[in-house]
Amino acid sequence: MAQITPLIAGNWKMNGTTVQLGEVERLAELVTEGDGPRCTVVICPPATMLERLNTITASAGIVTGGQDCHPAAHGPHTGDISAQMLSDCGAQYVIVGHSERRLGHGETDHLVQQKALAAFASGLVPIICVGESEDERESGSAEKVVLGQLAEALPDNWGPFGFIVAYEPVWAIGTGKTPTMHDIEDMHATIRKYLVEHYGENGEGTRILYGGSMKPYNARDILRLKNVNGGLVGGASLLANDFYNIISAV
């Protein structure tokens, strides 16, 4: 199995204005004190804050990403952000297919794939989200649902910069609920098997993040699990101390 450097990504969602920069400054201080983090640290703020965050985080080795991108590079798409625009602001990653985009905006797996390809074209690494609803989990179809999403949403080829898969059980996002450690490990093993079957050696080295209510109190146990190569963190990433505690759990 390839050696994988873990990645902890913070998804701020629709949160963050100038006042939030104080938390970023504090996080940068924490990260640079003592030994550096044993993982790649990414913050995905609203696009309005990308350039300001990069100014603060660059010296601490923290990088940034977008929360979404349009599949087109430019054009008459009022209110949308292209991958090229994110890259121009200094982003290195972009989240695509988050369940909140799928549910709130009706995004399909095919659209998610197109967004991932747009990320490739602009030099960004897409973080491609998959995950089942509570009903799908309870009916025993969680694995089938996730495999279906992987088949439709992932690019046919690994891409020039690779991609990241984030498993986010929809029912665990922002609820404080988490699957059992056994359930998490089983789903990550299923995703890994799919990646290896379809991408070979590249699939062995692809990061698989866990993204359902990862908090300081459970991060260490989750990150110990096989095939969990980091986390996609929501609310806890808005607070420097909480986010740093998760980073330190690697």
**In the numeric block, which tokens belong to residue 196?**
């290896």
Kindly state whether residue 32 falls inside one of the protein's structural domains.
no
Q: What is the pLDDT of residues 10-68, one digit of tens each?
A: 999 999 999 999 999 999 999 998 777 899 999 999 999 999 999 999 999 999 999 99
- Which residue range is the domain that position 207 belongs to? 39-72+80-248
- Neighbour count for residue 239 (Cβ, 10 Å): 16
Would you name the residues annotated as active-site residues?
98, 168
The answer to whether residue 11 is domain-embedded is no
Residue 129's pLDDT band (cuts 50, 70, 90): very high
Burial class (CB in 10 A: 0-12, 13-18, 19+), 218: middle
For residues 94 and 117, the answer to whether their CB atoms sit within 8 Å is no
What is the rounded average pLDDT of the residues 85-94?
A: 98
Q: Which residues share a beta bridge with 41?
A: 8
Measured between alpha carbons, how far is 181 from 157 in angstroms, rounded to an integer?
31
User: If you average pLDDT over residues 142-168, what whole number do you get?
Assistant: 95
pTM score, whole prediction? 0.96
Contact 233, 43 (CB under 8 A): no
3-class SS at 92?
coil
Which 3 state secondary structure label does DSSP give 80? Answer: coil
Residue 139 belongs to a domain: yes
CATH number of the domain enclosing 130 = 3.20.20.70
User: Pairing between strand 40-44 and 7-11?
Assistant: parallel
Tell me whether residue 183 is in a domain: yes
Count: domains in the chain: 1
Q: What local confidence, expressed as pLDDT, does residue 212 receive? A: 86
- What is the average pLDDT across 154-159? 92
Least confident of 109-118, 128-137, 167-176: 167-176
Reduced 3-state DSSP string for 42-110: EEECCHHHHHHHHHHHHHHCCEEEECCCECCCCCCCCCCCEHHHHHHCCCCEEEECCHHHHHHHCCCHH
- What's the rounded Cα separation, in Å, for the pair 244 and 69? 27
Percent of all residues in the chain with a pLDDT value above 70, rounded to a whole number: 99
Helix (H, G, I), strand (E, B) or coil at 65: strand
Mean pLDDT value across residues 115-139: 96
First to last CA, the chain: 19
Q: Report if residue 25 sits inside a domain.
A: no
Judge whether 125 and 119 are in contact, CB under 8 Å.
yes
Residue 9 pLDDT exceeds 90: yes
Query: For the CA atoms of the chain, what is the radius of gyration?
Result: 17
Q: Check residue 174 and give its pLDDT.
A: 75
For residue 10, tell me if it sits in a domain. Answer: no
In a domain, 27, yes or no: no
Residue 222, in any domain of the structure: yes
